[in-house]
Amino acid sequence: YIINFILNYVVPGWWQYDQRTSHELETAYKQGKRNCELLIAGFLYIADFGSMLQLRRNDPSRRRKIKRDLYNVPKKGVAGLRLNNQDEEITREVRGAERPASPASDDMGTGDGTNTPVPPSNTPQTPAGGTASGDATPLNDRMEQRDSLHQVLEQMRSLVLREHLSSDTDDELEEDEESESPSTHPTL
């Protein structure tokens, strides 16, 4: 709800302040006050509009510049807290979809010289019923990853087993050759 409000209305605000504090600053600024007292994270601050500084009341050495801007400018966080930004997640998904999962996936085609584009595995697919289920894709991805992991583990086990069996067979052959004495072989 708040995001829709911010995106739909251009609201004057103050850079890196939450909505309540920004509203207090804007009200005092429009009233023509020289400064404004703010309670932020349990500390009392004074915002001086003349010098555009924020000072901690009991420790004037704690200061920072303040500036007025539009409230709908995207932020990474407020007062040191990182906001959950959906744009970052979408960007990560798109970046992951840009590169192929393996070199072989570039050559997937119909065999007649024309390549059929394969949709990325991280995009949600609409089921045949026409309604999309948001939970289906992550579950399918996890299942595919688990199956892929199991397949790799099985291949590793079979390789280790083959190597072990071949070394046992080689050892048995060597033992058999050593145990046979020249007297048991007929001479030609």
| Per-residue model confidence as pLDDT tens for the chain (188 residues) | 555 554 444 455 677 778 888 888 888 988 999 999 988 888 899 999 899 999 998 988 888 898 877 555 555 566 656 666 555 554 444 444 444 444 444 444 445 555 566 656 665 555 555 555 445 556 777 777 777 777 877 888 878 777 777 766 666 656 655 555 555 555 55
- Which two structure tokens, joined as six digits, stand for 119? 């949709």
Sign of CA dihedral 169, 170, 171, 176: positive
pLDDT on residue 46: 92
Q: What 3-state DSSP class applies to 25? A: helix
pLDDT on residue 60: 82
71 exposure class (CB count in 10 Å sphere: 0-12, 13-18, 19+) = buried
What is the pTM assigned to this prediction?
0.34
How far is 85 from 7, CA to CA, in rounded Å?
A: 14
- Which two structure tokens, joined as six digits, stand for 132? 């999309």
How far is 170 from 160, CA to CA, in rounded Å?
A: 15
Q: How far is CA 19 from CA 16, 39, 175, in A?
A: 10, 13, 83
What residues does 150 pair with on adjacent strands? none
Q: How far is CA 98 from CA 92, 117, 118, 136, in A?
A: 10, 13, 12, 22
